[in-house]
Chains A and B, each alone.
Chain A
Amino acid sequence: MKILVAIKQVPDTATQMKLGADGKTIDPTGITWIVSPYDEFAVEEALRIKEKRGQGEVVAVSLGPDRVKEALRSCLAMGCDRAIHLNDPAWGAADTLMTARALAAVVKQEAPQLVLCGRQAIDDDMGALPAQLGELLGWPSAYWIMEEAVDADGKTVRVARQVEGGLEVFDLPLPAIVTAQKGLNEPRYPTLKGIMGAKKKELKDVKAADVGLAAEAPQLSITALEALPPRPPGRIIQGDLPTAVKELVRSLREDAKAI
């Protein structure tokens, strides 16, 4: 069974974000780039499906500039068999729909039975891509999956989707698109053997023309970015203990509306 995992490279969660001089982009200096954590769940699940079935191929794919190779290498180190890097200046300002079109073109070429993604990337939190990809391909799709089981014949996948207070269970005919929610699995760490082996695996550069796409303009563009307002300073409540406690409770209830 062939599985395609679409991943995105995002700034590390611990990074202190700074706005670029143009006010529309993030200043990239000092950023550590990682595979978006939800996408790691997707990679892990794809590897588990392959391991459970004892055969198959897991292909990682990502769109972005040269630095994205590093993210794809770490997917290879985790155990993906090969990787595809959609790397073309034509995609420099890609919005989710352009990215979905590029991915749909790759999916048509690769013809996997299953596409796995994270439920959303943790940088811009759009979460739009899997649905757009499903629409473009005409494939069934299920999001925020906590459990999955591909049947023995590889014809359907049973997925359990997180909803308020419970799980919603679906059977999807394959091929299908499934997105991973936190809790689906615990991603493995790449081993040294995996890291060394990753250097020998195929990482293919793909241009827009290679998948038959002409240049297009994004429908979505960023007008401005704003930094979060600085955190207001803490407040020390003066007075003797009984009065201070009363004031604290009042403030938590009325000012902060926390209780």
Chain B
Amino acid sequence: MRAFVDKEVTPHVAEWEAAGRIPRSFWKRLGELGFLGLEFPTEFGGAGGDFLASIVLGEEMARCRSGGVAFSVLVHTDMSSPWLTRYGTEAQQRKYLPGIVAGETVCALGITEPGTGSDMAALTTRAVRHGDVYRITGSKTFITNGVYGDLYFLAARTGSGTAQRRHEGISMFLVERGLPGFTVSRKLDKTGMRASDTAELAFQDCPVPAENLLGVEGRGFQQLAAGLQRERTMAAVLALAAASQALEDTVAYLRERHAFGEPLAQRQALRHRIADLATDLEAARALVYHAAMLYAAGEECVKEVSMAKLFATEVANRVAYQAVQMHGGYGYMREFPVEGFARDVRLWTIASGTSEIMREIIARRIFE
């Protein structure tokens, strides 16, 4: 995996960052090498591995020095497609999994709406049953892989919740690109993660075949909630691995850069700062691995995963600030990887559950 990233990913990330997308040929190459189906059953072309194999994928992809490339790939492999094996019928799996594993069908997750972020139960996109289709109307935003994707794991309301049970009535659908009434209304322009495409989507009476309902009608919220621990662990892994790479790059820079007649690596203030950051990262790694092991073993892990996501992404942002600082003027220049890392990593205290929501979840498990 590391050899592949060094040889076939890192040399291209500057080009993909500038293009604002990763090429289709790269998805197919990932598929060919089996990286898109690590945990899927072997009968659909998967490798039959476990969550820890996906962690390795996330860690190594994040070392390509483009957060966007890693993010796009892991949205496909870990933040969308696993719902298909968890809740999909055999027919749905048979239809979509081979393309997903081969890199021909790129997946996106469509939950967030212009008025609905952390408060998922507030979503308003509607799906109304008409005979053998659900007609979907509404809009989605911040959808990673949304501009060039093929299959969208979409959350929409099939019924209205009650004041006490607002999260009832949400369902999940497999929505193929190209259906009438489905448009990519905007390609969004972001601070970082520029190699991954992010879309605003519009649905106007978009007819989704009834057989594309994923899981149980009205249970979408619970289904999505069950997948959040995987997504958040992976977010922590991506932030952590990218930060480790940035710290290594910074250490290499401090060794090379001379000031006042000696390498910066000799300055005690900088050495101690590196020591602190390395310690923070090691602590974050231990916590993330602990959460990942709990998740992989199928144990209760909501608190630990929330802690890992909170801590790792905040540590990664501290590393970003200091990595740029220690690079001096060069840290502010596009040609130095830490500059891109600092822009990319900013997302991680926001996406996949903000730090505020993580604290709320942890506090709830302490006080209630």
- Measured CB to CB, the residues of A under 8 A from B are 189, 191-193, 196
Q: Which residues of A contact B48 (CB under 8 A)?
A: 193, 196
B1 x A189 contact (CB < 8 A):
yes
A189 x B33 contact (CB < 8 A):
yes
For this complex, into which size category does the number of interface residues on chain B fall? 10 to 19
A191 x B49 contact (CB < 8 A):
no
B4 x A192 contact (CB < 8 A):
no
Task: Tell yes or no: B297 within 8 A of A by CB.
Answer: no
Task: Tell yes or no: B91 within 8 A of A by CB.
Answer: no
Task: Tell yes or no: B53 within 8 A of A by CB.
Answer: yes
| Extra 5 A-B pairs, beta carbons < 8 Å, given A189-B3, A189-B33, A193-B48 | A191-B34, A192-B34, A192-B49, A193-B34, A193-B42
Alpha-carbon gap, A191 to B38, bound state (A): 9
- Measured CB to CB, the residues of B under 8 A from A are 1, 3-4, 33-34, 38, 42, 47-49, 53
Q: Which residues of A contact B4 (CB under 8 A)?
A: 189
Q: Which residues of B contact A193 (CB under 8 A)?
A: 34, 42, 47-48
Can you report 14 residue pairs joining A to B where beta carbons are below 8 Å apart? A189-B1, A189-B3, A189-B4, A191-B33, A191-B34, A191-B47, A192-B34, A192-B38, A192-B49, A193-B42, A193-B47, A193-B48, A196-B48, A196-B49
Alpha-carbon gap, A191 to B42, bound state (A): 13
- State the main secondary structure of chain B at its contact with A: loop
Q: Which residues of A contact B34 (CB under 8 A)?
A: 191-193
Alpha-carbon gap, A191 to B49, bound state (A): 11
Alpha-carbon gap, A181 to B275, bound state (A): 44
- The smallest beta-carbon distance between A234 and chain B, in angstroms, is 11
Q: Which residues of A contact B33 (CB under 8 A)?
A: 189, 191
Alpha-carbon gap, A189 to B53, bound state (A): 15
Q: Which residues of A contact B53 (CB under 8 A)?
A: 192
- The smallest beta-carbon distance between A237 and chain B, in angstroms, is 18
A196 x B3 contact (CB < 8 A):
no
Alpha-carbon gap, A191 to B37, bound state (A): 11
- The smallest beta-carbon distance between A245 and chain B, in angstroms, is 24
- The smallest beta-carbon distance between A221 and chain B, in angstroms, is 34
With CB as the reference atom, state the residue of chain B lying closest to A189: B4
Most A-side CB within 10 Å, residue of B4, B34, B53: B34
Q: Which residues of A contact B1 (CB under 8 A)?
A: 189
Q: Which residues of A contact B42 (CB under 8 A)?
A: 193
With CB as the reference atom, state the residue of chain A lying closest to B37: A192
With CB as the reference atom, state the residue of chain A lying closest to B6: A14
Q: Which residues of B contact A196 (CB under 8 A)?
A: 47-49
Alpha-carbon gap, A104 to B42, bound state (A): 40
Q: Which residues of B contact A189 (CB under 8 A)?
A: 1, 3-4, 33
Q: Which 8 A-B pairs have the closest CB atoms?
A: A192-B47, A191-B34, A193-B47, A192-B49, A189-B4, A192-B38, A192-B53, A189-B33
Alpha-carbon gap, A196 to B33, bound state (A): 15
With CB as the reference atom, state the residue of chain B lying closest to A191: B34
- The smallest beta-carbon distance between A116 and chain B, in angstroms, is 21
Alpha-carbon gap, A192 to B4, bound state (A): 13
Q: Which residues of A contact B49 (CB under 8 A)?
A: 192, 196
Alpha-carbon gap, A191 to B4, bound state (A): 11
- The smallest beta-carbon distance between A151 and chain B, in angstroms, is 30
- The smallest beta-carbon distance between B319 and chain A, in angstroms, is 23
